[in-house]
Structure 1
Amino acid sequence: MTQHGEKQGETGRVTVCVYCASRPVPERYVRLAAEVGTGIAERGWRLVSGGGRVSMMGEVARAARAGGARTVGVIPRELVEREVADTEADELLVVDTMRERKGLMDAHATAFLALPGGIGTCEELFEVWTSRYIGMHAKPVVLLDPDGHYRPLLDWSRGLVESGFASRESLEALTVVEDVESALRACGVE
């Protein structure tokens, strides 16, 4: 395990930061994560993830590596055992805080892709979505929602526009798709 690593952009290659579940979930979501990892590898891209090796987080990394993709995991020290650190990652960065984790994941990424997940995934998604909307970065922010997992959240977000708490442009900063191919196409920033 290392403390520091390369930053994105060294070769201009796409590096997708994938946010997803790190706890037990229905098998269809684990298969979805594997499909995403395989698609990243097939394009010759890299993956950055939260550095865990269980559930969707582990599966996206395993599938990416199986296809030849370079994987970078970023995990806080306190979660090394809880999330079962992905010691097979090409580069595993161990940090002290969640804020450091997100900062390093952001720094390595050229695009962000959120898969179905819980409150941690939502928190990560909202941070990069907000940052894009306010102009702190111009990287694609993509939400893959194949089965309506995020439908209530998206309805609520549209309601924010209707009630004046958010602008229509803020919603346009997020690309919402229903299939892996569309999600990866939206991430392709080469």
Structure 2
Amino acid sequence: MFSKSRVSETPAQPKPATPESDPARAEIPAVDATAAPVAAPRQRTAPSVLSADLTIKGDLQTAGDVQIEGNIDGDIRARQLTIGETATVRGEVLADEVIVNGRVVGRLRGLKVRLSSTARVEGDIIHKTIAIESGAHFEGSVQRQDDPLSQGGTKKLAPPATDFSKAGE
């Protein structure tokens, strides 16, 4: 049934294919080893998730994506930030894309900002584009900027002008 090959016997090695013996191989161009390597596109990884039972006191910074379900007392900087319905963030938020489903007490800065119907935001929003769903709660000012992530100071909105010259009339 089964046979055991002798140690001295070596199995036949297949011949490497050459362009003459394999026509499909003739179409493959040679690779120049001196050429600069092409940068691979950045693979998207799963976001880091901070669970609902987690409380962090301090700043968070990442070049990736973050989903927060717990409580953060500090500033956050990320590429994409999702604040879950159970989350509370107290501090400044800076991200290319911010999705708020929970509560934020502090300033939001983002290229794209979306407040869902369950969002509760107390603070100013500086954005390039914004979407606010019906039912979202927002207290603060909204300001559009072409580059909301720049660290330059933002102008405070001026209070309404009051004409005191007519007050005594």
Alignment TM-score > 0.5, same fold? no
- Is the helix fraction higher in 1 or 2? 1
- Which structure would you say has the larger RCO, counting Cα contacts within 8 Å and 6 or more residues apart? 1
TM-score (norm 2): 0.26
CA radius of gyration, larger in: 2
TM-score (norm 1): 0.23
